[in-house]
Amino acid sequence: MTRFLVRRIFEALFALLGTSLVIFIVLHLDHLDPARGLLGKEWTPQKGAALDAKLGLNQPVPIQYVLWLRGLVQVGGIGSVIRQALPPTLEILAMGAALAFGVAVVIASLQMRHPLSALDRVLGTITGLLSAVPGFFIGAILLYLLAYKVALFPASAFASPHASFLAWLYHQILPVLALALAVIGPWSRQLRASMGDVASSDYVRTARAKGVSECRIISRHVLRNALLPTITMVGLSLPTLINTLIALEFIYGINGAGTALIEALNSLLFASATTVALVFACVTVLGNLLADLAYGLVDPRVQYR
């Protein structure tokens, strides 16, 4: 286990370094002038040149990248993004993923218990539709129907810092629900297919021949052994979840990392945008590592080498 973790950490560091380099170079391909965006109407060639010199924007791109790497560990670098912008994003990401995974397990289990029934077809149709609809569209529809037309939930996910836990949770319902609905479809369909494959195994037929109840067969034998491919899919879905969450933060007025990324890009602050993108890459890498470690919890036969 230790050797596995050390190797994965080194691989993650190299992957993050390469990702940051690619993002930094791509953002500089258009040769836009951040000083013009920062100064706005006050921009003049003299003021723009002075600001470029102050921020190091007049340096070659490789030098700017080195300066950005050095600034990551300084005040206002990656630590500032993690402290201020990342917590709201992680809260919604964690709650949305947990809700989606739980609902996907329930849907797939119901379909397995009632195969080829009307319930199976209805649930299959619903999950198929959810798989085809973009997450940002789901968020906009929920906002229009449940916040504006019915006024059941607040339109903004922002809650006062002094609000109670229930008030905070009440403000998070719509973005969490929208994020969960964006992935419930593919996750439940993947789990349903995996459970169908496991259900045809010899040990499942033996358990049925022994008179074990169908509920026990699905919960103890079929579901547990079908979770591994779904866990893999959850890890691979993290970029999709993050992309959806960036749009949802804009829709629901959440001051998270996604909003910080959009503001940095609009202001042509390429270094800040790269920093936020690196934070998202760290979340993705960490999520995939946790998915790998979850294999051992689901199936003790899995060995890490």
pLDDT for res 305 = 65
Residue 104 confidence class, pLDDT cut points 50, 70, 90: very high
For residue 10, what are its two tokens? 């080194």
Asked whether 24 and 61 are in contact (CB, 8 A), the reply is yes
pLDDT digits (tens, 9 = 90+) for 72-95: 766 555 666 777 778 888 889 999
pLDDT, residue 7, reads 80
Rounded distance, CA 217 to CA 223, Å?
A: 8
Average pLDDT of 101-116?
88
Contacting residues for 200 by C-beta, under 8 A, at least 6 apart: none
Q: Lowest-confidence range among 141-155, 172-186, 220-234, 241-255?
A: 220-234
CATH match for 86-298 among 3.50.50.60, 3.40.190.10, 3.40.640.10, 1.10.3720.10: 1.10.3720.10
Residue, of 205 and 241, whose pLDDT is higher: 241
Closest CA to 250 of 200, 192, 303, 175: 175
Most confident of 84-88, 126-130, 151-155, 156-160: 126-130
Whole-angstrom distance, CA of residue 206 vs CA of residue 154 = 52
Query: pLDDT value at position 12?
Result: 81
- Round the average pLDDT of the chain to a whole number and report it: 81
In the prediction, which pLDDT does 178 show?
A: 93
Listed in sequence order, the residues at least 6 apart from 88 whose beta carbon sits closer than 8 Å to its beta carbon are 157, 249, 254, 255, 256, 257
pLDDT at 160: 64
Q: Which of 27-31, 138-142, 242-246, 283-287 has the lowest mean pLDDT?
A: 27-31
Across 268-276, average pLDDT: 80
Closest C-alpha to 250, from 79, 130, 135? 135
HSE value, Cβ hemisphere, 13 Å, CA-based, for 110? 15
Q: For residue 93, what pLDDT is reported?
A: 92
Residue 1 has a pLDDT of: 64
Separation CA 84–CA 97 (nearest Å) = 22
Hey, which bits of the chain come out as E strands? none
257 near 82, Cβ under 8 Å?
no
List the structure tokens of 24: 């930094």
Please give the single-letter amino acid code of residue 183: V
Both structure tokens of 282: 């760290």
Counting beta carbons within 10 angstroms of the beta carbon of residue 16, is it exposed (0 to 12), middle (13 to 18) or buried (19 or more)?
A: middle
Q: Where exactly are the structural domains of the chain? A: 2-71, 86-298
Q: What is the mean pLDDT of residues 209-233?
A: 79
7 DSSP 8-state letter: H
| Mean pLDDT along residues 113-121 | 85
Confidence (pLDDT) at 224:
78
Provide the 3-class DSSP secondary structure of residue 17. Answer: helix
For residue 103, what pLDDT is reported? Answer: 93
pTM for this predicted structure: 0.82
Per-residue tokens: 40: 């706005």
Map tokens 């619903």 to a residue.
126
DSSP 8-state code for residue 46: H
pLDDT at res. 206: 80
Which DSSP string do the residues of 149-206 spell out, in sequence order? IS--S-S-----TTS-HHHHHHHHHHHHHHHHHHHHHHHHHHHHHHHHHHHTSHHHHH
Q: Is the separation of the CB atoms in 274 and 68 below 8 Å?
A: yes
- Residue 298's identity, in one-letter code, is V
Between residues 136 and 78, which one has the greater pLDDT?
A: 136
pLDDT at 122: 92
Q: What is the mean pLDDT of residues 94-99?
A: 92
Q: Read off the pLDDT of each residue in 56-63 and give the average, rounded to a whole number.
A: 76
